[in-house]
Each structure stands twice: as C-alpha cells, then as structure tokens.
Structure 1
Amino acid sequence: RALKNFEGGLLIVGTTQAGKGVMLNFIMTQAILRGDAVIFIDPKGSDRMYKAFCRACEKADRGKPLRFHPGNRSKTDGIRFDVTAVFSTGAQIATRVMSVVPGEDNVFKQFAWSCIKTFADAMIELGEKPSLKSLSQNINKGIEDLLRALILQAVKQHADTDWREQAEYFLPARRENCTDAIHELNVLVSWYENVLPTYLHTMVVGECLKIFHHSKEHYSKITATLMPIFAMLTSGPLEESLSPDPSDASDKRPIWDMESLVKCKGVLYVNLDSLSDSMIASAVGSMLLSDLTAYAGKRYNLGLNDVRISLYVDEASNVINQPLIELLNKGAEGGVYTTIAIQTVPDLAHRLGSVHAARMVLGNCNNLIALRCKDRETQDFVTETFGKTYIHNVDTTLSTHADTHLGMPSFKGGASHKRTAVREEIIPSEYLGKLPNAQFFASLGGGHLMKGRVPVIIDDEEN
C-alpha cells in the first residue's frame, strides 16, 4: 500500500548539503533490496553515492552494479549502452535524438525530426540497424546512397529488362558535367517516378525522394545545424559508448540496452560528469531518458508489468526533457516509478524556459519531500503544496472590582473568553529555511502530511 502512493512520482527539493543525497541513498537502497530494476542518473557524479550503490547491491546479493560514464576511454571498465537498440519505427529514434535539443517545437525542430526519421526508416528498410554514428554519417553524406539502394531493391523485384530505356525516355539530355554516379541515380529516380506503378510505391522511398528534390541550399542549412547535435553524441569516447560495435574485439566492455537491463533486473549507475562538460552530460542524460520512455511505452502496449523499474534523477534540472515529463505523468503505466531531486524551482524554470513550464512539471509529482530550502520561490511552492489550516486563538480576560462606598464593602469579578480562527499555512515558509540537515516535511499520496528525519545508513566497516 505504501509503494502504491509513489506511482505518481516523487519530488525531492532541498538546497546544497541539506540531505538530498542521504534521502536518495535511503530510498534507492530499499529499491535494490526489493529487487527492482534500478537506474540512477547522477549529473555531477558522486563517488560516495556509487559506493552506496555497491554496498546496497552487496547486501542484496545482486553483484556489482553496472556503471556508465560518457567520458570513459577505457575499453575494459564500465559498460557500453546502445540507446537506439529498442525501437519500433524510425520516428522513435528521431524523437530520441531531438529530445537533446532544448526549447519548444519550431519549424527547424520539425524539419530536423522529419529528416532523422527518413534516414532511420531508410536504413531499417535496407536491413541496417540505425545507430547514432551511422545516422550521423548518412545525414552528413546525403540521401543519395540510401535512395539508390532502396530503388535498386525495387528494380530487382519489379523492373522489366528494358527498364533503363523506359526511364531515360523521361530524362532530359545528359549534361556534360553530369558524372556517371549522378546520371545513374537520375535514371533510377526517373524509373521509380515515371515507370513503376504508383501502387508499388512505398512511403519510405517517397520520403527519401522529398529530401532528394528538396532545395539543396535549404537542406544544407538544416543539416549544418543538425550535425552539432550528433557531434555531441558521437564525439570522443561516446562514439563507442553510445553506438557500440559488437564486432569490435578490442573493446571488452559489455553492451547493454534498456530492454536487457530491465529484463535482468539490473542496477545501473550513470555518472554524467556534468562538472567537466555540462553540455555533453545534458545530451547523454536526455538520450537515456528518451530511451527509457520509449521502452516504457512498449511495456505498456504489451501489458508487461512484471518488473518494477525505479528511476532516480539527481539534479533533474540538468537533464529534464519532454520524455522525463512523460515518465512523471504516465510512467507508472509502464512500470516506471520516477523520483527526481532538484535544488530550487528557478533552476528548473531556467532549464525549461519559464516558471509556468517548471510548475507544470512539478504538478506531475504526486509526492513531495522538502528538505531545507533557502530561496523564497521554492519555499512558496512547498507551502502551497502543504496547504493551509485554521489556527485558533483564545483571548481570556479576568477582572475584579472592590467598592467601599457608604462603609459597605463590595467586591465584583468577571471573566470573558474570545475565540478567533485565522487561516495560515500549515508549514510557514521561514521554517523551511531553518530545517537541520536530513530533516524534512513530506506530503505523500492521499494527502498524508508528515515531519521526519532521514535515517543515515552507515556501513559497519565505517564505524
């Protein structure tokens, strides 16, 4: 029953050194001992948290946790993670890549998404598995090679022996500067568009032809803006870490993907190392969250809820994206129970572009644990969440009077009570700024309010 309350997501807020790490360690340890599949995304990378991971796995007899680091150049330590292994269509891969781009949708993002989707669908149609590396290479080269291979497939299946003559009939005279490769592609395109019956046309080839006929100048501008995104995800060690090659015998690191991780009830610690490179950390974190969201959707569609997935995102303002918002909103339907930790509401607003967007995200968290908060905006959010109550005041007045008029003393006395009620916050804002380390106020599912202190887990060897 207690775990049921956390299906709506858990938000932990607290300033630096207020106890967020202690709280995450406490609830993460419980998840490992329960046997959940556990994913911990740590933007800054805490060696203390990783050691806590290892201790919890040892206590639960679950072996050593998996560890992923975007800057890892070792070919023997850590793991490689294929972020494009789980997909149904090219659209899912395109959404995964574009989740790295912050901000709201615009014309550029829509065209870039369509471009990635087309290349991914073309590769899938040709029997190739799209990866970040192969997508980057193909988009950089252009659509011509993929389009040529796709139409050649159709030629082998449907073309007559004189198909070339039929196609050239619709072509203008060959120009002198036209190379053999360009002329061959023009012949294939002419045959597909003018000779092959339309009922044999496919949507994948049609989308490729749109790019082929698109303005080369405009397409180059789009790809020139798109390539830095792929550069972030395929540069340096990430080329092998996020786009692993199973045939590379020199790399001894195991290859994992989201589906195999969950099925094996794995425990994964992701050190994004944002202090060294915040941009790469944000991109990698967004990709992993997008991958998990896609897999959660697959689990929901197949009705798979056999494994509970506990996701923990520390410093969530560094990696927050639309897929993470979807996980907070609907992830429990796919078996994903999400916990995010932030320092302040303005941090989240800065990442998302507005306070309204930040409030929308926070509104998707059904549970709140508030440690010490110093800034007023975060304090106001917490006090609003806890609500108000009536504070009753009772004023009591006592009076006495003595009179000796006419030699006859008399005494009088009286008492009055006045009761008033004022509606005030249950937790005043100033109290949030004075909480000792590891102490918190909490509002849990069903409106249960509590005040508590996080138990500090100390390993026997540290005593």
Structure 2
Amino acid sequence: MAQRYSIEVLLRPAVELYTVAVCAGAALVCLAAPWSLALSPLLGLGSALAFLGYGAIRLRDALVILRYRRNIRRLPRYVMTSRDVPVSQQRLFIGKGFRWEQQHTHRLMQTYRPEFRRYVEPTATYRIARQLEERLEFAPYPVSRLAKVLAWDSPLNPARPLPPVGGMPRLHGIEPNEVDVSLPLPERVGHTLVLGTTRVGKTRLAELFITQDIRRRNAAGEHEVVIVFDPKGDADLLKRMYVEAKRAGREREFYILHLGWPEISARYNAVGRFSRISEVATRIAGQLSGEGNSAAFREFAWRFVNIIARALVELGQRPDYMLIQRHVVNIDALFIEYASHFFARTEPKAWEVIVQLEARLNDKNIPRNMIGREKRVVALEQYLSQVRVYDPVLDGLRSAVRYDRTYFDKIVASLLPLLEKLTTGKIAQLLAPDYSDLNDPRPIFDWMQIVRKRAVVYIGLDALSDAEVAAAVGNSMFSDLVSVAGHIYKFGIDDGLPGAAAGMRVPINVHADEFNELMGDEFIPLVNKGGGADLQMTAYTQTLSDIEARIGSKAKAGQVIGNFNNLIMLRVRESATAELLTRQLPKVEVYATTLMSGATDSSDIHGPTDFTSNTHDRISSTSVPMIEPAHVVGLPKGQAFALMQGGNLWKVRMPLPAPDPDEVMPQDLQQLAGYMRQHYAEAGDWWEGRATPGLQDTPLPDDLLEGFRHIAGTEGAAEEARP
C-alpha cells in the first residue's frame, strides 16, 4: 500500500492494481448478474457501489506508486511565460519544489539499492530507441527519417527522449507533491548567493528574480530600484529586462550602460557624487593592491588623489577620471591654477613678486628636487616658503610638487595603469562625461538619481573584449554604491530635497552576475552593512575558489560568504563548493530492512524432524548526511538546493521559459541584442581575456545609432518637461 510507515517502499510493483481489477470484475458481476451471487438487483447495486468505492481507494494508492516511479525517471514538464510569473508584495517566487526532510533522504538512499535498479534506470525500450536513433542518423534518406520519429518529443512517443538537462531526475522525483517555493521579501535584505557551474541556469534564475523585481509595487504603488551587472553581455537578459520594464510602464526609467557600444550607452561618473570629498580617493585607490610592499604605494596614491580632488572642488570643477589622470601626470598645472585662484581671493599683489622670482630663475639656482618643474612652480614654492600662508589644499599641492620628479613618477606608477584603463578610447566619454555638452543626447546618471527615480539599470561590462577594464569599472561602481548606501542609511533617499521625508528608503535590488570578477575590498562593507540602506544583493558565481582567487585571501573570502544569509546552489563541479551546503545540514536516520534466513539440523537422528529453518526481516537504522556533495554535483540543469530562512533546505526546480507573443523590443534594441549574441562567451571563457578579434573596432550600423539617439533625445526632452 502507499500509506506511510516507518519503512516506506514506493519503488515496487503497483500490486494495488490487482485489487482494482478484482473489484471492477466483482462490481460488473453484481450489476450484470446479481442472481449468480444470490443477490437481489437492489443489493447487487449496493454491492457494486461498495466494490467500486474500495477499488477507487486502491486505484488512488496505485496511482501514487505509478506516479512516483514515473517521476524517478522523468519529471513533468514545467514551463511558464514571463507574464505568468507570480509577483507578490510579500514573497519572491523561486519555482516549484518541496522542503527536504528525513523521508526524502530515505527515499533517495533506496534508489541506489540493487533490487530497485529496474525502477530507476531507463527502460529497455528507451535504450533500444536511443541506439537506433544514433545508427539511423547516418542511414540513407528514407530510413533516416525514422530517427526523427524516435526523437519525437511527445507523450505519444513511448520511447520519448529525456529532456537535455542531464543530472539525476531522482533528486526531485522522490517527492511527487510539489508546492510553490518562495523567499519572504524581508529575508532578501540578508543577501542571496547563487552558486552554479557554467550553463546550468544561473542567468535564467536571475531573469526570474529580475522580472519580479521590475514589476513589483509596494502598497503605495511605487516600484523598486533594479540594478543588474552583466560582465559577459547576455542578450536574452537585456531583452528580458527591457520587455519587463515596458510591461510595467517603466521604459522611460530604463538605462543601459554598455562599455562595448559607447555610442548608444548612457554615461556615468563614478567619482562625481560624494558626501565627503575623501570618498573620491577611496573609490580610486581602493582598487590598488594593498598586499605587502604595495600598501605604502596605495596609501600615497590615496593621499595624492585626495589632494587633487580637494583642489578640483575648490576650483568649482566636478572630479572625474580624466581630470584626475591629467593632474596625476602633470601636477604643476593644477598647482599653478589653484595658486591663481587662491591669491586672487587673498593677496592679489602676490603675483607681482612671483613673476619677479620667476625672472631670476635659471638652471643653476633651481633646487635639485625641483629640477624638471616649470619655473613658475619653482617661483611659487620660493614665495610660499618666504610668506606664511596657510591653506590645506595649497599645502597639499605644494608638498606634491616638492617631490623629485623621478621619485614622484615611481610612487604613482601603480595609480597610472588604473586610470589608463578607465580613460582610454571611447570609454572615457562614458566614465568622464562632459556635463556642458548639450549636443550629446546620451543621458548621464548617478546612483542617487537612479534610486530616487526608482529606475532599472543594465550594466554591460563587455568583459570578453577587455576583462581588466570591466573589472576596474565594476569595482568603481561597487565602491560608489557603498558610498550611496551609507548616505541613504544616515539621511534617506530624499535628503536635501524640499518636503523630504526623513529617513525614507526604498528597496535597492542589485543583481551581480559573475560578481567575483567585479569585487574588491569594497564589496565586504557592501554586503555587510548595505542591508541598513535596504540594499538587497543577489550575487551569482561558479565556485568558492573564484571568490578566494579574486579577493586574494581565504579569510576575506569566508568573510564575504558569511554575509549571505540565503544560499541557492545549482550544479557545481567543485567539491569544496558543494560542501559549503552539505556541511551546514544535520545528519538524519534512515531505515533499512535486511532479509535474514537460516537452517539448523536436528540433534535427534531418530526424530521426525531433520532440520528447522527460519526467515525474518531485520530493521536497522543508519545515520547519514541529509545530502552528499555528489548529489549537488548530479543536479539537472535548472534545479537547485536552496538553504534559506535560517537553515531550511528546499529542493527547487525553476520554470522553463516559454515564448510570449507580446515580447517585442524596439528594432534598435533587437539589433543590439543580435550583436551581443554573436559575441557572447561562456562564463568559463570570457574571464581568460580571449577577446573576439576585431570586436572593439566593429562599428554599429548608422540606423541603429540614429535610433538610439532618437530614443535618448526623447527621454531627455521628457526629463526636462518634468516638474
């Protein structure tokens, strides 16, 4: 029977069907010939109903067995259009599944026993069909058509091929009664880590989450902020984001920043907005190595960038990477410009003395440490050494120019490569935008503006073409996001605006695909303290080793992992990564039956009994892990183990995407997605730096550029028209 006992055995013949057949035959006899059973027609009808009722109960038990055996081999198809994705104000939908408990471990252990092998492995018909399919592929034309018949993916095909997801279907088939699995939204502020090897469904899971985040509204009818970092450039992910933004009426708040196509990208200044001026130096110098002897050079770079940033702000200029690089290479020009600004306010006649000092200078009386500097810089230094003038910015610039030029170039040698990565080619137009250029239709955004507008942002870092630049830009954005989160935590999102509500916040959903390639030391405070600003991080990567290799410290990698309260693990190939899940689970007791039989000879040779025999079943229990790392390695595509809500283990499978007829993108975005598909790389390839030949030099069609300029111009006009 199918009822639950201590020893549950569902992998067996459906013997209940024998009872069903007997009950059906008895009911037929009672109806057709009640006289054969010495029954009146009325009693025959009642007996038939009784037989049918009992047969229905046994049929239900038989269907449980048959359904269980079917699921062990093949799961029911689970597809869903994006329109049908449930969007809740309370929960985040993940998929269908069940909570994994002791009985599921017991059932899984049974599938590995030899006596149940025939219920788990493919049938003989299936194996023969696959063998014929392989052979018929190379047969002559009329016969080769049979291969397509055998491969027909239809329930009418008795040898229907399994879906191309690999893995072990038994991991999910052991529980036929699935429920919708979801994560309470208050739990998301504790951050979510998604682990899975290449091409097992991480990006599709991200699409499912992003779809809900874009369409979700709170009780007041306001949307949430959605920020997506995509290093590889997944065209389907971009399409999904735009379609969902349009479906939710948010296409005007949809921004694309793509380093691969700067002509159509929005622009962004990572150091242009700050609460404290020192944040500019922290965001830039924080990306430099701080290990060993490099720590001293990073500290000097921080101080030097801080001096430049303070001077630029005093001069009324917004800091950006281009300005900082220009003054790192030539600090003399900034020193002269700031001195002119300072003396114009405090001592206008100082320049007369400085000009006289400059006229007296020659190669013989210039100090050794100032050789190679402009004469006006030397004259300024001599004047300031004679006149007591205190200004912290001027003193900082003065200390910088007093360094020997050769020595100065050596100690900023680690800073210049970073700035070169961020200011080379057309990328400089994106990361150092010209705010005064009114002819450029590309919008400029910053994170505080994105949060206040409840916008949707897609960040394509084009890591296939240049992984170094992608990592540098990603680090800059993360660092800027940390600063914005700190400001929101202290003052709210509307700080400084008229009628602002004190401490008002909005959920900020950040999805970072391949986040290990974008993270640095600034990522630790982002996940550690970002929850106070309602920042909800969902990070996707392959293995724990990726995080450790990127951050360079096992302790720091453990610190990062320890800040993710929710863990979703798809198929992984590294045992250490699988053990991150399995070691957090308790051991459970599973039961097993052992058949014991024996015979004993009789000691009385003259007695009637020659021997005695006995047979009995022995029930034993064994303590085993709830799941093993091998089970995580054997997950089919699109399936995962989810550890959430304080250690509750769920087995989940995601819905397969189904085409939706109304998912139409503009022609220009369709062309961009086509270009992205042509140059898309696997996650295991792009980070190795193997760029596609000629990708950087491949221009986009003129009609595509013109279409994007039209869209950007329309959005810009709409923004200006808003009160």
Answer yes or no: same fold by TM over 0.5: yes
Give the unaligned 5+ runs of structure 1: none
What residue number does 1:351 align with? Answer: 550
Bigger relative contact order, structure 1 or 2 (CA pairs below 8 A, ≥6 apart): 1
Q: Distance in 2 between matches of 1:427 and 1:79?
A: 47
What residue number does 1:100 align with? Answer: 287
> How big is the shift at 1:168?
8.5
Asked if the contact 1:16–1:343 (Cα under 8 Å) also holds between the matched residues in 2, the reply is yes
**Structure 1, residues 419-462: CA drift from partner, whole Å, max 9, x if none?**
5553x432201001111111100111322211111123434228
Q: Which moved more, 1:395-404 or 1:131-140?
A: 395-404
> How big is the shift at 1:116?
0.8
- 1:18 aligned to 2:217? no
> How big is the shift at 1:407?
4.5
State the one-letter code of the partner of 1:88: S
Aligned length: 453
- 1:362 aligned to 2:561? yes
**Structure 1, residues 265-292: CA drift from partner, whole Å, max 9, x if none?**
1100111111111111111111111111
State the one-letter code of the partner of 1:294: S
Q: 1:446 aligns with which of 646, 651, 657?
A: 646
> How big is the shift at 1:14?
0.5
**Structure 1, residues 317-341: CA drift from partner, whole Å, max 9, x if none?**
2111122222111111122110110
Q: Distance in 2 between matches of 1:163 and 1:430?
A: 77
Q: 2:276 aligns with which of 64, 77, 89?
A: 89
Asked if the contact 1:102–1:321 (Cα under 8 Å) also holds between the matched residues in 2, the reply is no
Q: Which moved more, 1:145-154 or 1:127-136?
A: 145-154
State the one-letter code of the partner of 2:532: E
> How big is the shift at 1:52?
0.9
State the one-letter code of the partner of 2:529: K
**Structure 1, residues 211-249: CA drift from partner, whole Å, max 9, x if none?**
122232221112343222111101111111111112224
State the one-letter code of the partner of 1:62: R
Q: 1:435 aligns with which of 613, 624, 635?
A: 635
Q: 1:138 aligns with which of 327, 331, 334?
A: 327
What residue number does 2:265 align with? Answer: 78
State the one-letter code of the partner of 1:368: L
Q: Distance in 2 between matches of 1:274 and 1:137?
A: 26
**Structure 1, residues 354-373: CA drift from partner, whole Å, max 9, x if none?**
44432222122111000011
Asked if the contact 1:15–1:343 (Cα under 8 Å) also holds between the matched residues in 2, the reply is yes
Q: Distance in 1 between matches of 2:489 and 2:271?
A: 19
Q: Which moved more, 1:330-339 or 1:145-154?
A: 145-154
Q: Which moved more, 1:91-100 or 1:411-420?
A: 411-420
Change (3 A) 1:347 1:251: same
What residue number does 1:196 align with? Answer: 388
Q: Distance in 2 between matches of 1:211 and 1:91?
A: 17
Q: Distance in 1 between matches of 2:603 and 2:622?
A: 41
- 1:54 aligned to 2:253? no
Q: Distance in 1 between matches of 2:414 and 2:614?
A: 88
Q: Which SS does the other structure have where 1:460 is aligned?
A: coil
State the one-letter code of the partner of 1:8: G
Q: Which SS does the other structure have where 2:522 is aligned?
A: helix
- 1:220 aligned to 2:414? no
Asked if the contact 1:439–1:453 (Cα under 8 Å) also holds between the matched residues in 2, the reply is yes
- 1:31 aligned to 2:213? yes
State the one-letter code of the partner of 2:285: M
Change (3 A) 1:252 1:157: closer
Q: Distance in 2 between matches of 1:245 and 1:283?
A: 21
Asked if the contact 2:297–2:412 (Cα under 8 Å) also holds between the matched residues in 1, the reply is no
Q: Which SS does the other structure have where 1:390 is aligned?
A: strand
Asked if the contact 2:343–2:350 (Cα under 8 Å) also holds between the matched residues in 1, the reply is no
**Structure 1, residues 246-272: CA drift from partner, whole Å, max 9, x if none?**
222442211111111111011001111
Q: 1:339 aligns with which of 538, 545, 549?
A: 538
Change (3 A) 1:209 1:461: same
Q: Which moved more, 1:408-417 or 1:228-237?
A: 408-417
What residue number does 1:391 align with? Answer: 589
What residue number does 1:208 align with? Answer: 397
Asked if the contact 2:229–2:458 (Cα under 8 Å) also holds between the matched residues in 1, the reply is yes
What residue number does 2:524 align with? Answer: 325
TM-score, scaled to structure 2 = 0.58
Q: Which SS does the other structure have where 2:421 is aligned?
A: helix
Q: Distance in 2 between matches of 1:440 and 1:150?
A: 59
Q: Distance in 1 between matches of 2:350 and 2:573?
A: 79
State the one-letter code of the partner of 2:401: F
- The 5 A counterparts of 1:382-421 are 382-384=581-583, 386-393=584-591, 405=604, 407=607, 420-421=621-622
What residue number does 2:505 align with? Answer: 306
Asked if the contact 2:288–2:414 (Cα under 8 Å) also holds between the matched residues in 1, the reply is no
- 1:294 aligned to 2:476? no
TM-score, scaled to structure 1 = 0.88
What residue number does 2:570 align with? Answer: 371
Q: Distance in 2 between matches of 1:248 and 1:153?
A: 25
State the one-letter code of the partner of 2:388: L
Q: Which SS does the other structure have where 2:198 is aligned?
A: coil
**Structure 1, residues 91-124: CA drift from partner, whole Å, max 9, x if none?**
2111212243356461111111111111111111
State the one-letter code of the partner of 1:389: K
Q: Distance in 2 between matches of 1:378 and 1:453?
A: 20
Q: Distance in 2 between matches of 1:166 and 1:56?
A: 64
What residue number does 2:419 align with? Answer: 230
Q: Distance in 1 between matches of 2:431 and 2:567?
A: 34
Q: Which SS does the other structure have where 2:537 is aligned?
A: strand
Q: Distance in 2 between matches of 1:341 and 1:78?
A: 24
Q: Which SS does the other structure have where 1:440 is aligned?
A: strand
> How big is the shift at 1:151?
3.5
Asked if the contact 1:164–1:191 (Cα under 8 Å) also holds between the matched residues in 2, the reply is no
Asked if the contact 2:231–2:470 (Cα under 8 Å) also holds between the matched residues in 1, the reply is yes
> How big is the shift at 1:311?
0.4
Task: From the CA coordinates, give the structure whose radius of gyration is larger.
Answer: 2
Q: Which SS does the other structure have where 1:451 is aligned?
A: strand
State the one-letter code of the partner of 1:390: V
> How big is the shift at 1:159?
3.6
Q: Distance in 2 between matches of 1:347 and 1:358?
A: 9
Q: Distance in 2 between matches of 1:218 and 1:20?
A: 49
Q: Which moved more, 1:98-107 or 1:291-300?
A: 98-107
What residue number does 1:425 align with? Answer: 625
> How big is the shift at 1:89?
3.1
State the one-letter code of the partner of 2:257: F
Q: Distance in 1 between matches of 2:348 and 2:639?
A: 78
> How big is the shift at 1:165?
6.0
